[in-house]
Amino acid sequence: MAAMDEVFREAWPVVVASTARLTGDLDLAEDCTQEAVERALRTWPACVPDNPAGWLTTTARRIALDRLRREATLRRKLPLLVEPAGGEDEPGPTDPLRLVFTCCHPSLALESQVALTLRLVCGVDVAAVAAVLLAGEAGIARRITRAKQKIAAARIPFRVPPDDELPARLDAVLTVVHLVHTAGHRGSRTELQNTELTGRAAGLARMLVRLLPGEPEPQALLGLILLTEARGPARTDSAGDLVLLADQDRSRWDRALIRRGLALTTAALQRGPRGRFALQAGVAGLHAMAPSWAETDWAQIVTTYDALMQVWPSPVVALNRAAARSRLQSADLAAVLREIDDLAPALAGYPYLPAARADVLARLGRSEEAAAVYDEALTLTVNPVERRFLVRRQTDLATRR
């Protein structure tokens, strides 16, 4: 059963994409893909096909055509999303990428792009999408429905856009793929990391690199993902508790992923101009190259964050920059604390802000204040592994006092 689940996860975006390209209806494509999976569950235990993804695609497309003929809507539906005449009928390796570009159309809000990509491309159900985005299930369902309706009403074509349209669409696609990886890396209400989402994000980033081999930002995004994933084995200890970068056993890092990630990051930085993903990957690369936490080149990391703030002035980047500044030998921790406090209005509800603030307070010797701020972080943190970590930090403060 586990092997079949893996097949279904891998095939889902290809089947949905291929069926949508045939029918021009995302809702119908999703429904037919689900029905094809249900048929597979009934028939495959007796005889698993040689090409499971092909079987699912053929079955879903047949179900879709039967429904369209039955409802007498074939002529009305086909022009909506389907490619112009001459496009191939068979599913291809770029079909999931077509689906990503459709989900990431500029006319959709970023929140809708992310929700739609998680649902259609990653095969995450609505409840899980809501959990990943820390939002209400009903609201996410409405957001996905409205996005599908807008795609149909605007007759958004189901294709990778031509070269002249790519610049306007590429940043949105890169952003959504990065957010999918971030959502997977941060996990959910029950687990520290969702490897299905992180794996799907890595696969999409690889497709983008193959589609646009001369573009530095897709290379940088893939490099960033690989460098982040390389540290994955060391993120938890034998008891399943969270281990921060400062305390990780670096011998557990995946050196092959680090080499590949550094090569991609270096190529992206050399091509320039340095975009936000290249600079983020640069920070990850500096951490990956450091022999230890104490030997990390914090000055270069702060400089890289300075450059990142110029191209992407995000409050989250500002928080990360402040945390890096606090590690400089010459750091004025009181000034860093003021810098973090200034970000509070922009990052209200962001659990990593009070966690960072508590860390600086503790290093200033203000243990009672730090313990209270850890309480604030705990009220905002839903992941059980992260909650246990915050409780341990809070308990350590009490012990030292």
DSSP 114-164: HHHIIIIIS---HHHHHHHTT--HHHHHHHHHHHHHHHHHTT--SSPPPGG
Question: Can you give the pLDDT at residue 356?
Answer: 97
Q: Give me the count of residues in the chain.
A: 401
pLDDT digits (tens, 9 = 90+) for 249-287: 999 999 999 999 999 999 999 987 889 999 999 999 999
Torsion of CA 59, 65, 68, 69, to 10 degrees: -130
DSSP state, residue 236: B
pLDDT band at 77 (very low <50, low <70, confident <90, very high): low
Q: Which segment of 109-118, 369-378, 387-396 scores lowest on mean pLDDT?
A: 109-118
Residue 89 has pLDDT above 50, yes or no: no
Domain residue limits, the chain:
1-80
pLDDT digits (tens, 9 = 90+) for 164-178: 777 778 888 898 899
Question: Can you give the pLDDT at residue 134?
Answer: 63
CA distances from 365 to 240, 360, 371 (A): 29, 9, 11
122-150 mean pLDDT: 82
Please name the residue that has the structure tokens 């669409």: 169
Question: Can you give the pLDDT at residue 186?
Answer: 80
pLDDT band at 228 (very low <50, low <70, confident <90, very high): very high
DSSP string, 238-296: TTS-B--GGG--GGGS-HHHHHHHHHHHHHHHHHSS--HHHHHHHHHHHHHH-SSSTT-
331-346 mean pLDDT: 96
pTM for the whole structure: 0.81
Q: What is the mean pLDDT of the chain?
A: 86
Residue 87 has pLDDT above 50, yes or no: no
Largest distance between two CA atoms of the chain: 75
pLDDT band at 349 (very low <50, low <70, confident <90, very high): confident
**Quick one: tokens of 330?**
């010459």
Residue 66 has pLDDT above 60, yes or no: yes
The CA-CA-CA angle for residues 19, 21, 27, to 5°, reads 60
CATH class of 1-80: mainly alpha
Most trustworthy range by pLDDT among 10-14, 149-153, 346-350: 346-350
Question: Can you give the pLDDT at residue 81?
Answer: 46
pLDDT band at 75 (very low <50, low <70, confident <90, very high): low
